[in-house]
Amino acid sequence: MKDIRKPAVAGFFYPSNPKKLKLQIDNFLNLPKFNIHLQNIFGLVVPHAGIDYSGQTAAYAFKLLQNTDYKTFIIISPSHREYFSGISVCESEGFETPLGIVPINIDLSESIASQSELIFRSMKGHEQEHAIEVQLPFLQEVINNFDIVPIVMGDQSQLYIEELSSILAEVVDDKTVIIASSDLSHYHSKQEAYRLDSLVEKRIKEFDFQKFQYDLENNFCEACGGGPILTLMKAAALRDKNKSVVLNRSDSGDTSGDYAEVVGYISAAIYGDF
């Protein structure tokens, strides 16, 4: 592969040293104690903060992928650093992390982008975005021989959510998992964050994306990747994959000890019979 997207946040959001990175991820993966085994995962909701803060919550989701044979992961991210109109599917051939290069599924990327004028292959939103990159080391630890389709939503309004979800519902097969990358509330007290994030948890548990969208639009809750989560849930509904389970919820104060201004995290799985 010639065109590789280089790591943008290694050494900042997660260790740049491969041994330290593998050890930290393996420690996270060994901690979750639950007996949930899903063989028909349609999608995951996973946080994307610094690994020290959200890595344990993320591990609850990635642990479900251990000893499975999923081959492609469509990772949908908000755009934290660059606003643009539309949805950008990364045009590189691969993503590099300290653990190696993850190939991009070019055929699927082109198929998704070719079905809508709102979706295009480009590097818009991808150059410095962390919300996709931080998922990859976890995938590299739990899955062998996989590829990805990295998607950044420059605009998370309803038009783009509807467009992307309808296309993904058509292209996803039983070897593909959608990952919606999102954190929850930002910089509220721990008590206020609990109130806001509990509503997101409730909407995911009840698989009620209509109320969730209403709540987001009216600031009753917060999720920087609300668009990706709604896209996942709506695509799942179109395929009758309307079962959900919340795996873990936490906030940055659990690690930092600072409860005055926290960031909320959640991991969840969307599934159903294929």
Superfamily holding 4-271: LigB-like (3.40.830.10)
Low-confidence ranges of the chain (pLDDT < 50): none
- Bridging pattern class, strands 100-103 and 72-78: unpaired
Q: DSSP labels for 82-112?
A: ---SSEEEE-SSEEEETTEEEEB-HHHHHHH
Check residue 177 and give its pLDDT: 98
Question: Three-state DSSP class for 93?
Answer: coil
Which DSSP symbol is given to 65? G
Check residue 1 and give its pLDDT: 64
The CA distance from 251 to 264, in Å, is: 4
Check residue 36 and give its pLDDT: 80
Map out the domains of the chain as residue ranges. 4-271
**Prediction pTM value:** 0.97
Check residue 134 and give its pLDDT: 98
